[in-house]
Amino acid sequence: MWKVSTCRSSAILRVMTALTAAAHSDDEPHRHDEPAKAGIPMSRCLFLFLFLPLTSCTDWVAPAFSIAPPCEASSDCEASMICHRGHCLTRCGDGTVQEGEGCDDGNLNPNDGCTNACQPARCGDGVVQFGVEACDDGNEEAKDACSTSCRLSLCGDGIVRNDLPPDHPEFELCDDGDLRDDNNCTSLCRPAVCGDGAVFAGEENCDDGNEQNQDACRNDCEPAVCGDGVLRLDLGPEHEGFEACDDGNEDRLDACTNDCSLARCGDGLLRTDLARGEEGFEACDDGNEVDGDDCTNNCRVAGCGDGVVLAGVTEDDPNYEACGDGNDDNEDACTNNCRLAFCGDGFTRQDLAVGEPGYEQCDDRNEDDLDGCNNACEGTSCGDGVVNRLEHCDDGNRVDGDGCSAQCGLGIVSLHTATVRSCVLLQRGWVYCWGTNYQGGAERVEGLEEVSQLRTSSYLSAALEGERVYQWGRLMPNQDPVRSPAEIEGARGATWLAIHNQESCVALSSGRVKCWGPRWGVSPIEIIGLSQMVQLDVGGDYGCGVDESRRVWCWGSNELGQLGQGDRVPRDEPVEVLGLGEVRSVFTADGLSCVVNEADELWCWGDPQSMPVAPNQAADSPRHAQALGPVDRLQKVTNSSFRVLDAQGRSAVWSRDARRNEDVEINPQQVGSRLSSVGSSFHCWLDEQEQMRCLWNTASNRSYGGQLGNGVDPNITRPRQLLHTPLARHFSGASAHMCLVDRDGGAWCRGDNRYGQLGDVAQAGTSFRNPWSPSHDFDDLVTISTSGNHVCSLSAAGQAHCWGRGLEGQLGSGLAENSPSPIVISGAPIHKIEAKLNFSCAIHGEDRRMSCWGENLGQRLGGGMDLAQYDMPIRVGSLVGLKDFALGNGASCAIDAQDELHCWGRSDHLFWELDEAVPGEPLLLSLPRALPQAGRLATLRLVGDRACAAGLDERLICWGNWGQGRPSGTGNVDYNPAPTPAGAQSLGIGSVHGCVLSGDGRVNCWGRNTAGQIGNGRIHNSSYPMTLLELEGIEQLEVNGYNSCARDEQGRIFCWGPNGRPLKYLEVFEDGYDWELVRGLPR
């Protein structure tokens, strides 16, 4: 080694300093950006001295300094020196630190503290110091295999290597300086990810290192829980945490419950995700296995016909079931009302053979042991040769003309109808009647055994038995009616009977004639001048008769020429009508007289507008109706109409209708029935099976009095439960059309269906249906409202639909057309909706505003525009925060959030408190106006020009044009408090009555009671005060016209009032009920 020849202390000091720095080491790696720590540990010094001689690879010449002698070649230097870079230098490794050397340990070991270049060893010099450095790659790249602190790169050293490819086992994506797996960089120097098998604290709750999403730890590193929407597959049913399903929602009432069990009937959770008819649908679920309670084990609401006997119900309960066979057969061991079949229930059992216990040959549902079916249900029938109590005879056959008629004396001989009543005479002489005063079906008129002639009018009926006359009904004006047949003294010896209204005449066996009634007096008086009379008729204040010589005589008034004398002069004494030939029969009716002679000719005279020939032409004398011959017989159909029949039964009918039509209804091709008659808006006839039938002529609104005799009570005077009716959570309407929401949220309707308002495709061609029909496929309804011709429903989600008649825009579709399909109403959420005749209204939106649509009669829609109708909803003024509203025919009102009343529309009386109002004169409000004097209100109802409201102070006020129907009876216009039970909850107003529901579930009614609408068991045309009804637990009350209905807490519906106007039956009957057949007549 060569050294410079001369050393200076400063140079040696620098070399030692460098050597000291290079040899410095401690327990922590030394960073280049930190100052070296002072002092050289002895161990390091010892290491340097021991290994320095062994570390030498190449010679190294100390750097030249200015003190070194200059040279150009080594020959210019001393023998111990070399020429290097123009200076003579000493050789490194001689053990002496010369200027330019950081150290010189005199050895050739490059891996000790002094390198073979006589510089102190350092990290980064490319030489590995044994025992000090693990590596030294001679660069300053910290992210390769050797760090800048000369440590081997390891996962966990805090330095992310970047010198390896991704597929290298030591490749690093991160290095956070620790070997923990619970942070964002794992001990494998990979970023923490879900599925790496290590739980990242604070970020992951589990990590099982697999891709199985259906075990205890999901693929999102969250523990599996019921309700997460992932079905676990790693557990069996016996293990805790097992899941049979997991739908990931919080709805416990769908197919998967909130404990991840499959929904099943009997789990106590009522499924709401299925519509009626879908597999798994539940109408109820009481969570038990008792099949005889309110909910059966197949999750159907217990009811008669479900095949399960309802337990725990006493016999006096309408829901009591003694049996339940689940079928619709009324003639087996269990009837359709779930009562055990018994002899006398009216149903003849068909499930048993002759000789089996319980076998029935007949069952007439009465306790008469002497009629055609005895009390042991052993029957005799016409033609069996056994005469029962009903039969007049029975010769063992069903043939006429052999001394016993084909009907065994039970055949109908004659039929007589009046305004609201009909009566028939049987062959055996019995009389049956139905209509006014005869509830439901036909009833026998007791006390009459062998009647030969029967007559009836609008006021009374009369029968001829032997030679005595019996009458019942209202015999004279201003007298109480006679309830049972009473003999007419002074009329004995009668052989022929005639009546018209309250006038009566008889032909006596002596040939004389007597008459009585309003014209002649209470007691019969003889008509002077008549003798040898064998037949007669009376047309009011005149009459005509036929004598033994078949001549016709008439007497009385003659203002229409009805006496046939060619003039209009009345006659007190009988005069003969000439030119008729030999007459077989004569009839008179309201100024018209007609006869049929032996030549089968029809002759008439009198009222020109009622003539069967040449209407409106003078007919003061008889005229021959040639077009109507030959005539077999002439019938007086009513007091004001006639019918002639030819030998084949073809008919022609005329009456006062000819005054309008100026024609006669002639039906030469139509064969009429053997017997028929016409009443007021109805007619009756005998069919081919000799059964009596009746039907309405039109959908008349006349008061029903049982004219059809079909078993329907004309009036229900006490609340009666509607049978064959689903249990309801809400209902609307009364008799003409009625709808309900069942306890499952489904809709049902019955009644009028001319516009498709039943909502049942299967009934599309039906104009009227009495039994209930399911309406559409709703399953979440809460309320329903019907106007009679259209229906609106509201769901639990606040969505409304309307269907039915829409010609006035009441369906809100924008198209004025009918729709049997439901139309969605805009403006959800909807809070209340109501259907009124030809228009609809709703409270809707978050601000609870009100909109109406349909016919805008009298500005009742409140939109402020004078349009005839709105086909889409239009906002009612600027009202918001509404709580309730009521719709009337002309005016409408609403209650706002401050409980104040606002009204609009047209009324003569309801707006009385406004300055511009004049009672009795119409006031029109196109927009709502406040009526503050009404006070704070809870609810209200409007009908016509009158209203009632329940106040928050539990008072009931009524105002408007009430008259005698007002609960206070005053008829005042202003807000007059009415005496009511405390806690009025809701109310209803009808045509002449009203009812109020109190908070304790009781109902009180007031007003007129013409048809049982008060519900107190009576019918009396007078005004009643508040009357408590025999109802308890009532939750809803509806009043409509003359009818009222209420729903109790069990969902049962009770109704009272008129029960049989055309198309307006309150009662619900089973499918197949024969509406035409007159009940109660023996056969």
Best CA proximity match to 223, nearest among 208, 236, 233: 208
Residue type, 444: R
Q: Is residue 998 part of a domain?
A: yes
Q: Which residue shows structure tokens 């009903």?
A: 390
Q: Which residues of the chain have pLDDT under 50?
A: 1-65, 657-671, 699-703, 968-971
Residues whose CB is less than 8 angstroms from the CB of residue 44 and which lie 6 or more positions away in sequence, other chains included: 23, 24, 25, 113, 132
Q: Is residue 194 part of a domain?
A: no
* Structure confidence at residue 59 (pLDDT): 43
Specify whether 661 is located in the same domain as 783.
no
Specify whether 869 is located in the same domain as 940.
yes
Best CA proximity match to 1055, nearest among 988, 998, 958: 988
- d(CA 428, CA 425) in angstroms, rounded, equals 8
Cβ atoms of 339 and 365 closer than 8 Å: no
Specify whether 109 is located in the same domain as 65.
yes
* Structure confidence at residue 640 (pLDDT): 64
Specify whether 536 is located in the same domain as 587.
yes
Q: pLDDT by residue (tens digit) across 909-950?
A: 999 999 999 878 999 999 999 999 999 999 999 998 889 998
Q: Is residue 516 part of a domain?
A: no
Tell me the two tokens of residue 390: 């009903």
Omega before residue 630 within 30° of 0, cis: yes
- d(CA 550, CA 1005) in angstroms, rounded, equals 62
- d(CA 500, CA 506) in angstroms, rounded, equals 12
Specify whether 912 is located in the same domain as 1003.
yes
Number of domains in the chain: 3
Residue 764, Cβ neighbours under 10 Å: how many?
Answer: 10
- d(CA 7, CA 176) in angstroms, rounded, equals 51
Residue 992, Cβ neighbours under 10 Å: how many?
Answer: 19
Quote the domain boundaries for residue 601.
527-680
* Structure confidence at residue 906 (pLDDT): 95
Q: Which residue shows structure tokens 């006070």?
A: 935
* Structure confidence at residue 6 (pLDDT): 34
Residue type, 105: D
Q: Which residues of 383-418 are buried (b: 16+ CB within 10 A; e: fewer)?
A: beeebbebbbbbeeeeeeeeebbbbbbbbbbbbbbb
Across-strand partners of 473?
A: 460, 482
- Collapsed DSSP state (helix, strand, coil) of residue 546: strand
Q: Is residue 79 part of a domain?
A: yes
Best CA proximity match to 1049, nearest among 1036, 1037, 1058: 1036
Last residue of a domain, one of 659, 680, 701: 680
Specify whether 673 is located in the same domain as 777.
no
Residue type, 1039: V
Specify whether 598 is located in the same domain as 729.
no
Q: Is residue 653 part of a domain?
A: yes
Specify whether 1020 is located in the same domain as 881.
yes
Q: Is residue 870 part of a domain?
A: yes
- Collapsed DSSP state (helix, strand, coil) of residue 21: helix
- d(CA 119, CA 112) in angstroms, rounded, equals 11
Tell me the two tokens of residue 762: 């299967």
Specify whether 829 is located in the same domain as 955.
yes
Q: Is 0.85 topped by the overall pTM? A: no
H or E element, residue 412: strand 412-417
Last residue of a domain, one of 152, 179, 208: 152
CATH of the domain at 804: 2.130.10.30
- d(CA 881, CA 843) in angstroms, rounded, equals 9
* Structure confidence at residue 884 (pLDDT): 96
Cα torsion 957, 962, 967, 970: sign: positive
Q: Is residue 385 part of a domain?
A: no
Residue 42, Cβ neighbours under 10 Å: how many?
Answer: 8
* Structure confidence at residue 842 (pLDDT): 98
* Structure confidence at residue 468 (pLDDT): 97
Cβ atoms of 27 and 100 closer than 8 Å: no
* Structure confidence at residue 659 (pLDDT): 38
Specify whether 881 is located in the same domain as 930.
yes
Last residue of a domain, one of 102, 129, 152: 152
Q: Is residue 756 part of a domain?
A: yes
Specify whether 539 is located in the same domain as 648.
yes
Residues whose CB is less than 8 angstroms from the CB of residue 689 and which lie 6 or more positions away in sequence, other chains included: none
- d(CA 1033, CA 1041) in angstroms, rounded, equals 24
CB-based burial of residue 688 (10 Å sphere; 0-12 exposed, 13-18 middle, 19+ buried)? exposed
* Structure confidence at residue 964 (pLDDT): 53
Specify whether 796 is located in the same domain as 926.
yes
